[in-house]
Amino acid sequence: MGWDELRDAVSACRACDLCKQRKQAVLGVGDAHADEPFVGQAGKLLDAMLAAIDLKRGDNVYIANTVKCRPPGNRTPEPSETAACWPFLARQIALLQPKLIVALGRPAAQTLLQAEVKIGAARGQLFEHQGIPLIVSYHPAYLLRNLPDKAKAWEDLCFMRKTMKGF
């Protein structure tokens, strides 16, 4: 599947219940026909975090949602939903061939590492997903609710920057 076919497949997908309330399935930044992922306050925070280390979405940074249909009330996706949507994310990764993956939040980390993950314990470590270096950090929506952990997210950004410099 190329990008166009992937976009069409996601738009037509009914593999989990999240399709019932979606307005639009969102593949990721770079998708000209869809809303962007990570909008609202969490998106603003993510952009500010990226800017702090001289990165910008759409400019050597691709942001993809773990599930392409936004869960109602922005709740955390269920494991069955992340599992149903995984083939789309897997295809995005195959097409993008990123040098580094940063998994934000537990659902993303668990999906990519196929293991139980606690962000607090896993952050600061270098993992890999099918040979691609992977680090984990907090989801911006979590950080908005847990401001003291912002300092840890900043440490994670520095770790991410350091890891990228090593390439």
Among 23, 53, 55, 68, interactor with ligand SF4 by CB under 6 A: 68
3-state secondary structure labels for all residues of the chain = CCHHHHHHHHHHCCCCHHHHCCCCCCCECCCCCCCCCCCHHHHHHHHHHHHHCCCECCECCCCECCCCCCCHHHCCCCHHHHHHHHHHHHHHHHHHCCCCEEEECHHHHHHHHCCCCCHHHHCCCCEEECCEEEEEECCHHHHHHCHHHHHHHHHHHHHHHHHHHCC
Among 6, 7, 25, 110, interactor with ligand SF4 by CB under 6 A: 25
Shortest distance, position 7 Cβ to ligand SF4, whole Å: 11
Give whichever of 10 and 153 is closer to ligand SF4, judged by the CB atom.
Answer: 10
Which stretch in 39-47, 55-63, 64-72, 106-114 sits in contact with ligand SF4 by CB under 6 A?
64-72
Does residue 15 bind ligand SF4 (CB under 6 A)? yes
Among 10, 119, 134, 136, interactor with ligand SF4 by CB under 6 A: 10
Shortest distance, position 107 Cβ to ligand SF4, whole Å: 12
Does residue 26 bind ligand SF4 (CB under 6 A)? no
What is the distance between the alpha carbons of residues 156 and 70, in angstroms, rounded to a whole number? 26
Shortest distance, position 124 Cβ to ligand SF4, whole Å: 30
Question: What residue ranges bind ligand SF4 (CB under 6 A)?
Answer: 10, 13-16, 18-19, 25, 67-69, 81, 84-85
